[in-house]
Amino acid sequence: MSVKTLTIDGKMVTGMAGETIFNAAWEAGIRIPRLCHVGGVSDVGACRLCLVEIEGQKKLLAACLTPVEEGMVVHTNTERLRAHRRLILELLFAERNHVCSVCVMNGQCELQDLAAEAGLDHVRLRYQFPKLGVDTSHERFGLDHNRCVLCTRCIRVCDEVEGAHTWDVSGRGARSVIIADMGEPWGQSESCTSCGKCVQVCPTGALFSKGRGVGEMRKDRRFLKYIVTAREKHQWIR
């Protein structure tokens, strides 16, 4: 496999042919904000937080989906990108009901962290206050739609890693919701193996383990790395 050399934020970086800009940057210690991407499952390019500027390209491209190319000059943190990211985060906070102070993920949430990194200290858009439910029918886990950012990580890990494909999206636009099987309560899902992978990859407080109070939920994605390493390198190491 051939090696490509490119420049990211003024730094010379190398990546394998086919590798994404996101991964090449990550390996070089450059952290591009991301919400829908999670290492170990396929990418969908949905959150648009990882958009980067590539010299000679008019369009902004998702780093998580764009392969590296020889001689590419990439900027990941321009004023324009920062402004877009801030506004995308504002959109997310206004879209559903994020009451961090009473959320199981308070303090550990990826959305909170992204907002803090972006210097977001208030939301200029109107909060929409949609009426959404919490599905607590599963014996061990819960799904709080109020906190869901529709990143579809849960769908992909359940489909691609666990092989159950319990989750999917129903409805479209702002009416999109995550559903189990054909829309039944999670606890009645026949496909769910209760493996908990979806809970662990969920970036927010949307998927949680029962019995956790405010700020008590911790997520652990090491299992994904373990599986991916096994799959790619045939080594069962933690």
Partner 1 sequence: MDSLTKKPRLATVWLGGCSGCHMSFLDLDERLFELHRRAEICASPFTDYKDFPEVDITLVEGAVTTAEQLEEIRHVRRRTKILVSFGDCAVTGNVTAMRNFFSVDDVLDRAYRETATQIVGIPSGNPAVPRLLDRVRPVHEVVKVDYFLQGCAPSAEEIYRLLMDLLDGRTPALAGRKFGS
Partner 2 sequence: MTVEELFELHSEEQARLRRLENRIYCCTAAGCVSCGAEGLRSAIAAAIKAEGLEGRVEVCGSGCLGLCSKGPLVRSAADGALYGELPPEEGALLVRPNPIDRQRLAAKRLDTNAPFFARQLKIVLANSGQVDPERLADYIAAGGYQALAKAVTEMTPQEVIEEIKRSGLRGRGGAGYPTGLKWELVARQPSPVKYVVCNADEGDPGAFMDRSVLEGDPHRVLEGMAIAGYAVGAQQGYIYVRGEYGLAIQRLQTAIKQAEREKLLGNRVFETGFQFRVDLRIGAGAFVCGEETALIASIEGKRGQPRQRPPYPPESGLWEKPTLINNVETFANVPPIITEGGDWFASIGTETSKGTKVFALAGKIAHTGLIEVPMGTTLRTIVFEIGGGVPGGKFKAAQTGGPSGGCIPEQFLDVPVDYESLTNIGSMMGSGGLIVMDESSDMVDVARFFMEFCMDESCGKCIPCRAGTVQMHDILSRLTRGEGTAEDIRLLEELGALLRETSLCGLGQTAPNPVMSTLRYFRHEYEAKLASGGRQ
62 binds, among partner 2, ligand SF4, partner 1, none (CB under 5 to 8 A by kind): partner 2
CB-based burial, 7-46: b 16+ in 10 Å, e otherwise: ebbeeebebeeebbbbbbbbebebebbbbbbbebbebbeb
DSSP 128: -
Query: Radius of gyration of the chain from Cα atoms?
Result: 19
CB 23 within 8 A of CB 34: no
Over the window 9 to 48, marking each residue x when it contacts partner 2 by CB under 8 A and - when it does not, the resulting string is: -----------------------------------xxxxx
| Binding of partner 1 by 58 (CB under 8 A) | no
Q: Which is nearer to ligand SF4, 28 or 94 (CB)?
A: 94
- Figure out which of the listed residues 71, 163, 171, 211 binds partner 2, where binding follows CB under 8 A: 171
| Binding of partner 2 by 114 (CB under 8 A) | no
Q: Which helix (H) or strand (E) holds 229?
A: helix 222-233
Minimal distance, residue 72 CB to ligand FES, in Å: 17
Among 71, 92, 81, smallest CA distance to 12 is for 71
DSSP track, 93-108: HHHTT--GGG-TTTTT
- Figure out which of the listed residues 149, 158, 164, 179 binds partner 2, where binding follows CB under 8 A: 149
| Binding of partner 2 by 165 (CB under 8 A) | no
Minimal distance, residue 163 CB to partner 2, in Å: 18
| Binding of partner 1 by 123 (CB under 8 A) | yes
Binding site residues, ligand FES, CB under 6 A: 34-37, 45-50, 62, 64
